[in-house]
Amino acid sequence: MPSVACGRHCRSPPAPVLRGRCPAGARPGAERLPRAFGAWFDYMADDRRGCFLTSVATEFDDRPGPVRDAVIAALSRWSAYVLDELGAALE
């Protein structure tokens, strides 16, 4: 799937594993969000170990420190991205 760097329509860039994978030619919201999830699923399938970020989140959820802080920040960016796209879909 062609992708482009996040631009003006991505108010909240996605998590690092999806950075630069905003689907090309997809309008914000109802078109782009399913494609973004598709890119995430493709990423997990390509790696065959699943989502690195989810694995690390599970491993470090009860361990305070810089790794946990970075994981929380990345997951927060993904959540904000999804919420922005959902908001765009409702506009």
The domain spans of the chain are: 3-90
Strands 3-4 and 22-23: antiparallel
- Encoding tokens for residue 67? 């790794």
Whole-structure pTM value = 0.68
Q: Is the per-residue pLDDT at 77 higher than 50?
A: yes
Domain 3-90 in this protein, CATH class: mainly alpha
Side-chain-side CA neighbours of residue 39 (13 Å):
23
Residue 45: the pLDDT is 79
Residue 8: the pLDDT is 38
The amino acid present at 90, given as its one-letter code, is L
Residue 19: the pLDDT is 55
Compute the average pLDDT of residues 46-57: 77
